[in-house]
């Protein structure tokens, strides 16, 4: 027996939970797993429970680490670097900060008013909602570790490249003037003790679960429907890996939506299970998290149309390229 494989199956994929839910569905509810109803009920209960368990544990642990990187400290760290180094650091810090696309906008204002380069702030703005440490574990639990690591890598690269291109375009004149005069906190921050960090981690779990639980339930329900009720021929006809338009279509479909990565993962899982290309499913997931309509509307309040169009164009183009890349290399991840 491979110990790592056993731990991966039992701790991340939670095979024990899948078996327990199977027993509940077949013996407790009398629904055969061979039927669409039984399979759908199993998918919904198992994925919902697994995501909430992993999410709670991961957010608690990660938030404890993140308590060392409050917004003001993040700003001070980024302020020490410029150029590509600043973009790389901003993208990496974005992966360890608990901010969705909408909550990243106030940080963008704070960073810009503090004098950070525009390109650096956009690298953070791209990376923060797109990649976080919890998503790595959840991706590994649904797919595998190579896919999870590759996703994080391309997400960071997109943030670095996107921020660098925006920085080189020198579009600071397209940021609304009030952003540069917003108040910035410069005082020293007290260092929390262990008890305060644990309390912060607990509160983060409550806050994030409260914000994403509905999206998770909706995402799992859609995933169950795709997995068991929508004919594979219909899905493949629209988003099949052999369809050249599948990646751009998935990207465009995801843009008007608003959901956390945790709500889109079950949909991506179901799409891949029904024959949709891995890159197509990931492009949809990245589009929902990085280019959601609410975040674009909020960003429009602080930047003018040329800069907003540049940001959306660069991120959209990057997501499409990443989707095609994952589709082309899907065999390497199995």
In tens, the pLDDT along 32-55 reads 988 889 988 998 998 888 888 877
- The average pLDDT across 151-163 equals 90
Return the pLDDT at 230: 75
For residues 136-153, average pLDDT: 85
Residues 6+ apart with CB under 8 A from 302: 105, 108, 109, 175, 176, 179
CA 303 to chain CA centroid, Å, is 23
Report the C-alpha gap between 331 and 279 in whole angstroms: 11
- Tell me what pLDDT residue 125 has: 82
Q: Is the pLDDT of residue 1 over 60?
A: no
pLDDT, one tens digit per residue, over 300-326 is 878 888 988 999 999 999 999 999 999
Lowest mean per-residue pLDDT among 18-32, 69-83, 144-158, 209-223: 69-83
Lowest mean pLDDT among 71-75, 120-124, 185-189, 289-293: 185-189
Exposure on the CB side of residue 184, measured as CA atoms within 13 A = 20
Give the percent of the chain with pLDDT over 90: 12
- What is the band of 69 on the pLDDT scale with cuts at 50, 70, 90? low
Judged by average pLDDT, the poorest of 42-56, 69-83, 288-302 is 69-83
User: How high is the pLDDT of residue 8?
Assistant: 64
More confident: 302 or 101: 302
Confidence bin at 103 (pLDDT 50/70/90) = low
Query: pLDDT tens across 223-257, in order?
Result: 788 777 777 677 777 777 778 889 998 888 888 77
> What pLDDT sits at residue 185?
46
CA distance 261 to 155: 13
- The answer to whether 53 and 190 have CB atoms below 8 angstroms apart is no
- Provide the pLDDT confidence category of residue 203 given band limits of 50, 70 and 90: confident
Q: Looking at residue 321, what is its pLDDT?
A: 94
Q: Is the pLDDT of residue 148 over 60?
A: yes
Mean pLDDT of the chain: 79
Q: What percent of the chain has pLDDT over 70?
A: 79
The larger pLDDT score, comparing residue 94 to residue 169, is at 169
**Residue 189's pLDDT band (boundaries 50, 70, 90)?**
low
Query: 315 or 105: whose pLDDT is higher?
Result: 315
pLDDT at site 187: 46
Residue 152 pLDDT > 50, yes or no? yes
Read off the tokens for 256: 């008007």
Kindly report the CA angle at 305 between 303 and 306, in degrees rounded to 5? 100
């Amino acid at each position: 027996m491979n110990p790592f494989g056993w731990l991966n199956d039992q701790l991340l994929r939670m095979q024990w939970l899948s078996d327990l839910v199977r027993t509940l569905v077949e013996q407790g509810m009398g629904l055969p797993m061979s039927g669409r109803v039984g399979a759908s009920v199993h998918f919904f209960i198992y994925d919902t429970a697994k995501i909430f368990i992993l999410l709670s544990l991961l957010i608690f642990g990660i938030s404890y680490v993140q308590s060392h990187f409050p917004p003001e400290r993040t700003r001070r760290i980024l302020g020490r670097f410029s150029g590509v180094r600043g973009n790389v650091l901003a993208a990496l810090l974005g992966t360890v900060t608990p901010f969705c696309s909408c909550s990243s906008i106030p940080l963008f204002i704070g960073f810009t008013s503090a004098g950070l380069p525009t390109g650096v702030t956009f690298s953070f703005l791209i990376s923060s909602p797109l990649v976080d440490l919890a998503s790595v574990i959840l991706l590994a639990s649904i797919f595998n570790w190579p896919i999870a690591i590759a996703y994080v890598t391309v997400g960071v690269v997109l943030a670095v490249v996107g921020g660098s291109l925006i920085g080189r375009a020198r579009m600071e004149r397209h940021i609304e003037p009030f952003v540069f005069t917003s108040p910035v906190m410069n005082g020293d921050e007290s260092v929390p003790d262990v008890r305060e960090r644990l309390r912060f981690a607990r509160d983060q779990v409550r806050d994030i679960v409260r914000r994403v639980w509905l999206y998770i339930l909706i995402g799992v329900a859609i995933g169950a429907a795709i997995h068991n009720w929508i004919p594979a021929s219909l899905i493949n006809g629209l988003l099949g890996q052999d369809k050249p338009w599948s990646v751009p279509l998935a990207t465009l479909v995801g843009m008007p939506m608003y959901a956390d990565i945790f709500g889109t993962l079950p949909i991506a899982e179901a799409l891949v299970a029904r024959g949709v290309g891995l890159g197509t499913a990931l492009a949809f997931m990245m589009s929902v998290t990085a280019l959601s309509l609410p975040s674009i509307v909020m960003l429009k309040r602080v930047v003018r149309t040329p800069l907003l169009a540049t940001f959306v164009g660069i991120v959209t183009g990057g997501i499409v390229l990443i989707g095609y890349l994952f589709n082309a290399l899907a065999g390497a991840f199995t």
